[in-house]
Amino acid sequence: MTLQNTRSTNYPEWYQNVITAAEMAELSVSPGCMVIKPWGYGIWERIQRLLDEKIKETGHDNCYFPMFIPLSFFKKEAEHVEGFAKEMAVVTHSKLEKKDGELVPGGELEEPLIVRPTSETIIADSFSRWVKSYRDLPVMINQWANVVRWEMRPRVFLRTREFLWQEGHTAHETVEQAEQEARTMLDVYIDLSENCLAIPVIPGKKPEHEKFAGAIDTYTFEPMMQDGRALQAGTSHNLGKNFAKAANIQFQNKEGKLEYAATASWGVSTRLIGGLIMTHADDEGMVVPPRVAPQQIIIIPLYKNKDKIDAVKAYADNLQAALAKQTAFGEKIRVRVDQRGKESVDKMWEWTRKGAPIVVEVGPRDMEKHSVLVRTRTHITDENWKEFVDFDAFVASAGDRLENIQREMFDRAKERLDAHVRTDITTPEAFEAYFANQNVFLERTDVPTVGFVRGKWSGDETSLEKMKEMRITIRCCPFDQSGTTGKCLLTGKDATLDVIFARAY
């Protein structure tokens, strides 16, 4: 039941196949936009629930800002940029009307409105009115919203014109506090990625040329996909006083003097689901880590024997009720009986493609033996994919099983990451030869593989041009910069920065 394309034969097509087979999302008739279907959206809801708890625990409140931003908000930004042109959706009219039988836009707006690509400017504008005294600080807010960037080559979850995200925005008395905030939220994201999504990451600072425009520092956490590329998954920025100056966020300090506030911002998006797929899915379809699985256990009743339908149904319902009382990760287990009128074998494969962590089948023979047939999604290629387990023993072990699956998934991804960060490449020639290989599915052993390189960088223009040619980027400067100095892997010049080089999504 392998997908049409596998990771080793055609990685990009495999990615699309997984999404289609798992019924997670699809491209819409609305150009460049996606429909997120229940299984994909259910994963997003789990991410929201887990991250939102942490956002609140760290002292933030949610709120909501308008999605339409007046054009004049972009004027300041445009002033300083030669040939300014930003891809974004522009609302110019306020009605549809019939004219000579044709349907056309009417009611032209005096000032066009931009559909938010991010809410930085409009939120800063509110802050400038909310903040008057040091007593009003810090302001620590977050919003869950849709944003728009006019992508020309849409890919579901990775690059669509509209996507969902959260954006946190905070204002503080000092730049040190903004720095603290940016680092705290980076830690929250690392925790989300590693402990909830089972995606190991390399955290660090973005180099100067990759920073969010106007930020003092941009922090990032870089995961490795199964084709060795990095994924830009989320960032956290210390904006210093730059944004407060532009938006005039001033407060009276304890000494009674007017001062600019320091701000920070941070965000992750539905892109994380793309990262989840490219970290965990296999050639049979999606594999969802239990912590973010909308359903962790699916029960399929086998109804072939018509005389036993009621009895099997009751047995399945009992199993569900017993499991729903168990916990995993400190939460009640999410379990559903699949009662739809489809063949049970089709249901089993459907949930396998969707990547439900555990699929259980129960039929008349299982009832006799007081047992259940358990399939663990991560073990699909192992001998123990199918196990007959005693009913009570399964119920008692369900929480542990889910927690073990989560751990196994993280460990497997961590092993892959660790194995593919090369630190032994020391010359520009070896570096170029390494990245001259095509990116390929990392678990093939019969071809060269390309992952990350950790090494030195001189930081000059020549190095940036060289990277562009090679289509590689600097993902981050890891926090540990204690490595000895050496020669830049791109230019051979003296270098002190220790960075992660990679191709990236």
Site residues (CB under 8 A) for a copy of itself? 28-31, 33-38, 40-42, 44-45, 61-71, 74-75, 78, 81, 83-98, 103, 105-107, 112-115, 122, 125-126, 135, 141, 145-146, 150, 161-162, 164, 340-342
Q: Is the CB of 30 or the CB of 462 nearer to a copy of itself? A: 30
Judged by beta carbon, residue 91 or residue 430, the one nearer a copy of itself is 91
Shortest reach from residue 460's CB to a copy of itself, in Å: 30
In the bound state with a copy of itself, the residue whose beta carbon lies nearer, of 34 and 230, is: 34
Q: Between residues 84 and 479, which has the closer beta carbon with respect to a copy of itself?
A: 84
- 292 vs 472, which CB is nearer to a copy of itself? 292
Secondary structure string (H, E, C) spanning 386-437: EEEEEHHHHHHHHHHHHHHHHHHHHHHHHHHHHHCEECCCCCHHHHHHHHHC
Query: What does the alpha-carbon distance between residue 421 and residue 241 come to, in Å, rounded to a whole number?
Result: 36
Which of these, 233, 213, 257, 235, lies nearest to 86 by C-alpha position?
213
Least CB distance from residue 223 to a copy of itself, whole Å?
Answer: 23
Site of tokens 């540990």: 480
Cis preceding-peptide flag for 138 (omega within 30 of 0)? yes
Residue 31 CB, nearest distance to a copy of itself (Å)? 7
> In the bound complex, what is the minimum distance in angstroms from residue 113's beta carbon to a copy of itself?
7
| Min dist. Cβ of residue 475 to a copy of itself (A) | 28
Tokens of 317: 């319902």
b vs e for 290-306, b when ≥16 Cβ sit within 10 Å of the residue's Cβ?
bbbbbbbbbbbbbbeee
Query: Residue 44 or residue 435: which is nearer to a copy of itself going by CB?
Result: 44
**Structure token digits, residue 33:** 């936009």
CB 170, CB 131: distance < 8 Å: no
Interstrand relation of 335-337 and 297-301 (parallel, antiparallel or unpaired): parallel
Q: Is 432 exposed, middle or buried (0-12, 13-18, 19+ CB in 10 A)?
A: middle
For the bound state, the minimum distance from the C-beta of residue 310 to a copy of itself, rounded and expressed in Å, comes to 21
Q: Which of 385, 402, 387 is nearest to 288 (CA)?
A: 402
Nearer to a copy of itself, 60 or 237 (CB): 60
In angstroms, give the least distance from the CB of 68 to a copy of itself. Answer: 5
> Measured from the CB atom, is 26 or 187 closer to a copy of itself?
26
Least separation in angstroms between residue 238's CB and a copy of itself is 23
Alpha carbons 223 and 238: distance in angstroms, whole number: 22
Q: Under DSSP, is residue 495 helix (H, G, I), strand (E, B) or coil?
A: strand
Q: Are 479 and 443 in contact (CB under 8 A)?
A: no
Going through 242-354 in order, the beta strands assigned E by DSSP cover 250-252, 258-260, 262-269, 297-301, 327-328, 331-332, 335-337
Using alpha carbons, select from 187, 171, 342 the residue that is nearest to residue 242: 171
Contacts of 421 (CB under 8 A, 6+ apart): 202, 224, 451, 452, 453, 454, 500
* Residue 10 CB, nearest approach to a copy of itself (Å): 25
Q: Report residue 357 as tokens.
A: 């962590």
Nearest approach in angstroms of CB 240 to a copy of itself is 24
Q: Which residues contact 462 (CB under 8 A, 6 or more apart)?
A: 490, 491, 493
Nearer Cβ to a copy of itself (33/309)? 33
Nearer to a copy of itself, 29 or 258 (CB): 29
